[in-house]
Amino acid sequence: MLNDASLGLLLASIPAGLMISMPFAGYFTNRFSMRSLLISAALAYSILLLCLGYASAAWQVSIVLFLFGISRTFYNVSVNTCSIVLQQQFKRSIVTSFHGIWSLAALLGALLSMILIGWDVSMGNHFLMVSIFSVVVVFFFNGSIPETGKGQPKKKLFSAANKGLLQLGFIAAGSMFCEGMMSDWSGIYFSKVGGVTGQYYVLGYASYLTTMVLGRFLGDWFLGKYGEMTMVRASAILLGIGFLVAVVFPNPFLIVIGFLLVGLGVSCFVPMIFLLASKNAEVPIGTAVSSVSLLGYIGFLIGPPIIGYLSEIPSDFRLHSSAALWWPC
């Protein structure tokens, strides 16, 4: 039986794979065909998910999660680069809607998991169904993937001329700390602190994803009306209030309210950061996206193990309030 600290280290396997592979993502994005890179990463993602469903030992799970993180890096950078390429063809903002589609898929996945858990479907069969569906989607839509230039000159990851990317990366780190914590610990927190049992523990994460989806689909309109800086400040305030509500009032209903606010606060951070990074004239789009993602995933990496270790320390608040310190970022 894993305790919270051990579980936190296990959950860090994905971010570790992300971090190790991130410095290479920009190079491969600029060096090879965007379509080929995206399809390869998506297929690897699906196959590794299938392997995860049938892993029987903790070390096997850790290895698969590590490789899962590597494939996610290349998938993440390539698909976000494609979204920026498409954004450049429009005068109005559309980039947060792409992230909204991802969040909608995550929400549907969480709800599907709740249903399959209720039906006592094994994890292996669960992941088998998702993997098959993912492969079918890849082959069905592969012709719609935009192509980008390749063979662009290499750039230093963070040069003196790219301090703007470094600043954006620090903002991404604060935001993705919160995202990583919510992805890995919101269900556990909702179950242990909120006292929710059975398959309904996933409702905590689903509530967070619901407002994340809503915020991202509405984000393009707000970006056009109020601009990036106003949106960044508003998002930070919503994050802080949401975490405080969920921590100070450990009641299932109020935890859900807090998670709803956190979802709204986190929703547009990453899309805005990628959009701003792509405007840097000193580096190719793929390099810019991977550069800010590198610091962003540092926050994503340190979040789960920090929360796991802190939760082992006796506290009425489970010390989840430490995450609220990141909201001014």
- Alpha carbon distances (Å) from 39 to 68, 162, 189: 15, 30, 35
Residue 14, pLDDT > 50, answer yes
- pLDDT (tens digit per residue) in 181-223: 887 778 888 888 887 776 677 788 888 888 988 999 999 999 8
Mean pLDDT, residues 11-24 taken together: 80
Mean pLDDT, residues 26-34 taken together: 77
Q: Is 56 exposed, middle or buried (0-12, 13-18, 19+ CB in 10 A)?
A: exposed
Structure-block tokens of residue 275: 């959009």
- pLDDT (tens digit per residue) in 156-169: 544 434 678 888 88
| 217/197 Cα distance (integer angstroms) | 31
| 234/59 Cα distance (integer angstroms) | 42
Q: How far apart are the first and last CA of the chain?
A: 36
The pTM assigned to this predicted structure is: 0.75
Mean residue pLDDT of the chain comes to 80
